[in-house]
Amino acid sequence: MGLFLPPPNPFSLLFLPLSLLLTITPSSSSDLTTLVYKGCADQKFQDPSGIYSQTLKTLFDTLKSQSSTAKFYKTTAGDSQSAILGLFQCRGDLSNSDCNNCVSKLPEMSQKLCGNTIAARIQLTGCYLRYEVSGFKQVSGTELLYKVCGSTQASGIGFGDRLDTALGEIEKGMEGGSSNGFYTGSYESVFVLGQCEGNLGNGDCVDCVKSAVERVRSECGNSISGQVYLQKCYISYTYYPNGVPTQSLSGTGQNPQNTQRTVAIVLLRSEKTSMEDDDEVSFRPSTTLFSAFCSLFFLIFKMKIYLLL
């Protein structure tokens, strides 16, 4: 006696590719706004009239507005007596919307973490904010601000050479002049990332990155991961024993995480449209499987066309 199998559910076939896409799509938006470190000046504004507070608010509003169209922006708010210089820098592989979302978090975090200090820097995974009052003491562009090294040490011979080569790729990537101050890449399971501040010239960017590489090698040794943040640039590396994950290799251009999210949206819209176009929806057992596969083929075809545009 044979085993009876019920007819396939067309909805299970239609939702299968969508469920797979949603399963593998990382929550990148929240990761981009994770706090890395904060730097707050000891001195606060002497501001009985509230003029500095208003100037700081104006500065923050300007930076948030500009972040919808730029990865870097630097400006001054206020007059000569109450001028405040500020800037933001987004990671080079962020989309405009991700950059804006990241920068929009910074003013509130700055107020919460530092209050009305005369200078502050808030570094998130995807962007950072820096501001200071006019006349604030300047530091070198290669001044070490923050570093963190993984607690796990690499075992085996040759890791040091592998890491040196991977970190050297950041310098080479910046030297070309076409990187716009941002680089990601990998070498033998070591993923690396470098970011320079947007107003650095190509030569100054390379020099800053070289200083960061020297620092991370001296500070982190054979740790499997490390991050070094200097005043004008930062770098990071991570060793993946099983190979660098695909989502880490965002590089310049569109982030694969964003591509996955776009695909999921296309499927949702396509399914919703196909359901709304019919006043009545009914399924006959004899045509269910054929209809399901036709619908799936149509969705995939639309998805490919969308991604090519």
Distance (Å, rounded) from C-alpha 71 to C-alpha 80?
Answer: 27
On whether both 194 and 239 belong to a single domain, the answer is yes
Predicted confidence band of residue 295 (pLDDT cuts 50, 70, 90):
low
On whether both 242 and 291 belong to a single domain, the answer is no
On whether both 166 and 238 belong to a single domain, the answer is yes
Query: Does 295 fall in a domain?
Result: yes
Query: Does 124 fall in a domain?
Result: yes
Predicted confidence band of residue 97 (pLDDT cuts 50, 70, 90):
very high
Give per-residue pLDDT as tens, 230-253. 999 999 999 998 888 875 555 433
Q: pLDDT value at position 275?
A: 33
Q: pLDDT value at position 302?
A: 44
Query: Does 147 fall in a domain?
Result: yes
On whether both 122 and 34 belong to a single domain, the answer is yes
Query: Does 3 fall in a domain?
Result: no
Retrieve residue 115's tokens: 């209050």
Q: What is each CA distance from 8 to 1, 12, 19, 289, in whole angstroms?
A: 21, 8, 17, 7
Query: Does 21 fall in a domain?
Result: no
Tell me which residue range forms the domain holding 215: 142-248
On whether both 35 and 79 belong to a single domain, the answer is yes
Identify the domain boundary among 230, 248, 266.
248
Identify the domain boundary among 133, 158, 193.
133
On whether both 101 and 60 belong to a single domain, the answer is yes
On whether both 163 and 107 belong to a single domain, the answer is no
CATH classification of the domain holding 92: 3.30.430.20
Identify the domain boundary among 232, 248, 264.
248
Give per-residue pLDDT as tens, 116-160. 999 999 999 999 999 999 988 888 899 999 999 999 888 878 888
Predicted confidence band of residue 71 (pLDDT cuts 50, 70, 90):
very high
Query: Does 269 fall in a domain?
Result: yes
Total of domains in the chain? 3
Predicted confidence band of residue 260 (pLDDT cuts 50, 70, 90):
very low
On whether both 150 and 129 belong to a single domain, the answer is no
